[in-house]
Amino acid sequence: MERPVADRLADAMRQAAAEGRARARAFSGGSGRDDLPFAVIAAFDARIRGQVERDPRIEDERDRVLIAAVKLAETPPDDEPDAFASARAGLLAVIDDLEQVTLRHGIVSARGARAGGGTPGERLTPSG
């Protein structure tokens, strides 16, 4: 049975979340602090954000990722190792939340359809 075309966009979301988690795990503090928030959502913004209809639930989760990334970036890893580990875990959790909310509520936009991500109005996951 052939997979729905929207599965490509769902797969892209899973990959974007994986890239964000990898950046969060690799962040050791210090250099790159200013770049971390947008680095963890870069793949989401590039491959997903314009491809799905705007949804306040998705935008709220994206904002939560940015806030958690700033918290991690501002936590000194050497002075506060437990707080740093907790901030990293929090960032990983909200990246997971962004992935799940996008998969659950994401609807292919006209732009996403033109890019081969499905039919406008099609849900990323059928259970939506």
Q: For residue range 1-23, what is the model confidence (pLDDT) as tens digits?
A: 445 667 889 999 999 999 999 99
Q: Is residue 1 part of a domain?
A: no
Length of the chain: 128
Nearest to 65 by CA among 23, 15, 108: 23
Mean pLDDT over residues 87-109, rounded? 97
Better pLDDT: 34 or 98 = 98
On the question of pLDDT at 117 being above 90, the answer is no
pLDDT score, position 128: 44
Cα separation, 47 vs 71, whole angstroms:
25
Cα separation, 61 vs 18, whole angstroms:
16
Cα separation, 16 vs 19, whole angstroms:
5
Cα separation, 68 vs 71, whole angstroms:
5
Cα separation, 46 vs 115, whole angstroms:
12
Q: 13-51 pLDDT, tens per residue?
A: 999 999 999 999 999 987 778 899 999 999 999 999 999
Query: Where in the sequence is the domain holding 58, given as residue range(s)?
Result: 6-114
Number of domains observed in the structure of the chain = 1
pTM: 0.92
Task: Give the pair of three-digit tokens for residue 42.
Answer: 């870069």
Q: Which residues contact 65 (CB under 8 A, 6 or more apart)?
A: 20, 37, 40, 41, 44, 91, 94, 95, 98
